[in-house]
Amino acid sequence: MKGLVIFLGLIFLLVGCAKKEVPVGPIPEEAPATEKVLPPEAISPQPEETETGKLSAIETSPEFTEESLEEAAHRAEKLPPEERWQIYGRSTPPLKAIFFDFDDYRIRKDMIERLKENARFLVAHPEYRVELQGNCDERGDRDYNLALGEKRALEVKRFLVNLGVAEDRLSTVSFGEERPLAPGHNERSWALNRRVDLVIIKETY
């Protein structure tokens, strides 16, 4: 009798399981062939803001050495020309140039720390006004490059403002391809010419 009860119980379980349906979600559709999905590293990172203020975004940036503009310019002049260009472009030392990929105005990930260093210096020195000068390499027509240079300058401005620099201290201008820093016609020179320079134009007082 005991064996029959166990046998009937097993049959009941098997029948119950057979009737249970497994929920099936909708089959994901493939993205349209024309849609381009950017990888995460291609999207400009956004500086984080907190309730304690925007300055927290630059707390982790590398320390800068406090020095006068004259001392910084003298130190920069001692560097070999190409090394100096790779760091400063035509920026006013100790401010550093921000470089861009070809035909792009998004901030590269390797430029984030430079932006933080620049912001730290500018926050510590509110007496300086800065012109953000957008530049392009020689490829593309004049009007396109002027527009692209302006977009680059505006993107740097946006980041600096998000990092705590007062917006009214920052102006933008685009030179397009008209002021190449490196004279060559190759990728090495083009990479140096795709940048935004941070040039101190006057003191605020």
170 in a structural domain? yes
20 in a structural domain? no
pLDDT tens, residue by residue, 172-192: 999 999 999 999 899 999 999
Among the listed residues 112, 103, 60, 89, the one whose alpha carbon sits nearest the alpha carbon of residue 195 = 89
Among the listed residues 192, 178, 47, 53, the one whose alpha carbon sits nearest the alpha carbon of residue 118 = 47
58 in a structural domain? no
Query: What's the predicted TM-score (pTM) here?
Result: 0.70
197 in a structural domain? yes
Please state the rounded mean pLDDT for residues 100-125. 96
| Strand-pair category, 170-176 with 128-135 | parallel
pLDDT grade for 17, boundaries at 50, 70 and 90: very low
Q: Is the peptide bond before 40 cis (omega within 30 degrees of 0)?
A: no
Report percent pLDDT > 90 for the chain. 61
- Pair of tokens at residue 192: 């140096």
160 in a structural domain? yes
169 in a structural domain? yes
- Residue tagged 């002027």 (tokens): 146
Please state the rounded mean pLDDT for residues 89-105. 97
Name the residue range of residue 160's domain: 86-205
193 in a structural domain? yes
Q: Starting from the edge strand earliest in sequence, which strands make up the sheet with 128-135, in order?
A: 98-99, 195-203, 128-135, 170-176
pLDDT grade for 49, boundaries at 50, 70 and 90: very low
State residue 198's pLDDT score. 98
- Residue tagged 């559709």 (tokens): 29
State which H helix or E strand residue 121 sits in. Answer: helix 112-124
% helix, strand, coil for the chain, step of 5: 45, 15, 40
19-28, 124-133, 143-152: which range is least confident on average?
19-28
- 188: domain CATH number is 3.30.1330.60
Please state the rounded mean pLDDT for residues 143-167. 97
- Total of domains in the chain: 1
Are 119 and 61 in contact by the 8 Å Cβ rule? The answer is yes
Q: How far apart are CA 133 and CA 171, in angstroms?
A: 9
Are 94 and 146 in contact by the 8 Å Cβ rule? The answer is no
10 in a structural domain? no
